[in-house]
Amino acid sequence: MSMTDPVADFLTRLRNAAKAQHHDVTIPSSKLKRELARILAEQGYIEGWEVRPPEPGRPGERLTVTLKYTSERRPVITGMQRVSRPGQRTYVDHAHIPRIQGGMGTAIISTSKGVMTGHEARRQGIGGEVVARVW
């Protein structure tokens, strides 16, 4: 199976795992996915994440994300959306970074200074590619 959009795959796997109330989900790792996991953890959307060594006979490290639920066993992440896609990239300058759910959500921006939240990018006055929105 060829993977045209690993980030969309990452978001979909998290979404599906949360819907099925899994404790964690393991996905092929990449630098960008690790950055996304780091931001999701910092923003309190997930419990945590770790990179695991490749399984015997399978290439590449794996990323295990531990999902977070409310006391009512509802996923903390209520929605995730891929914004910039391989076929249609979305770039913004710092003045046009989207506010998600009236500031309750998080825009994840890939900038020249690394992957950060929209809030952080706005604060630093830098724009970039809008990777995803989470709320």
* Three-state DSSP class for residue 114: strand
Cα–Cα nearest to 127, from 98, 106, 101, 88:
98
**pLDDT, tens digit, 9 for 90 and up, residues 54-110:** 989 989 999 999 999 999 999 999 999 999 999 999 999 999 999 999 989 999 999
One-letter identity of residue 86: P
Class of domain 6-67: alpha beta
Residue with tokens 């996991």, as numbered in its chain: 37
- Which of the following CATH numbers is that of domain 80-134: 3.30.1490.10, 3.40.630.40, 1.10.240.10, 2.60.40.10? 3.30.1490.10
Residue with tokens 């599906």, as numbered in its chain: 16
**CA–CA dist 65, 29 (Å, integer):** 11
pLDDT of residue 1: 52
Q: Taking 90 as the threshold, does the pLDDT of residue 4 lie above it?
A: no
**pLDDT, tens digit, 9 for 90 and up, residues 117-126:** 999 999 999 9
Domain spans of the chain, in order of start: 6-67, 80-134
Tell me whether the CATH fold assigned to 6-67 matches the one assigned to 80-134.
no
CB 8 within 8 A of CB 82: yes
What does the radius of gyration of the chain's CA atoms come to, in whole angstroms? 15
Mean pLDDT, all residues of the chain: 95
- Which run of H or E residues covers position 40? helix 31-42
- Which run of H or E residues covers position 19? helix 6-19
